Amino acid sequence: MSLLFLSLLFTLSCHSQADLIGDTCKKTLYPDLCISTLRSNPRSLAADVKGLALIMFYATAVKATATLNQVNVLLKKTNDVVLIECLENCASEYASALNEIFTANKNVGSDIFAVKGVAADLVAETQDCEDTFADGPYKRKSPLTAENDVLGDLAGLVIEIVDSLG
């Protein structure tokens, strides 16, 4: 009997947490990305809304790191001077963003709203990277558009979840 009770309690707890993720994410611009990102992290099962914001912030940091690594790979593969200049600008934007992310991560316990500011800066930095390719006399298609779009969307989700805290 007690095993049945524990099983039922666990099921209700998981369902309640799934509802928190769903309820939080359905209020965002990208609910599917929000849900899939949060559900991919097992820590989200025990998190409150602040915890969900931090998990999304962590996912954003992981994506920013992966994108910077991709920029560095592209830099090694090209001899195109204009492409190198554009990619170096993006590398600088991402290095700056990662520095801000790691600094904010240290203060996250005391100031969740600092995370929002860093996420807003990251949205701007992804756009600055894209603008590097679109502006100037040597306009070209950015090889990072997909990554910049996802990263900007993740950072936007951080902002929305933090905003939901009030």
Q: How many CB atoms lie within 10 A of CB 150?
A: 18
User: Residue 157 in contact with residue 56, Cβ under 8 Å?
Assistant: yes
Average pLDDT over residues 93-122: 83
Average pLDDT over residues 136-145: 89
**pLDDT tens for each residue of 6-56:** 444 444 444 455 589 999 999 999 999 999 999 999 999 999 999 999 999
User: What burial class does residue 50 get, using C-beta atoms within 10 Å of its C-beta: 0-12 exposed, 13-18 middle, 19+ buried?
Assistant: middle
| 94 vs 105, higher pLDDT | 94
Average pLDDT over residues 157-161: 95
Q: Closest by alpha carbon to 57, among 22, 93, 109?
A: 109
Q: How far is CA 124 from the centre of its chain?
A: 13
Q: Which residues contact 146 (CB under 8 A, 6 or more apart)?
A: none
CATH code given to domain 2-163: 1.20.140.40
pLDDT bucket at 138, cuts 50 / 70 / 90: confident
Q: How far is CA 132 from the centre of its chain?
A: 21
pLDDT at 109: 61
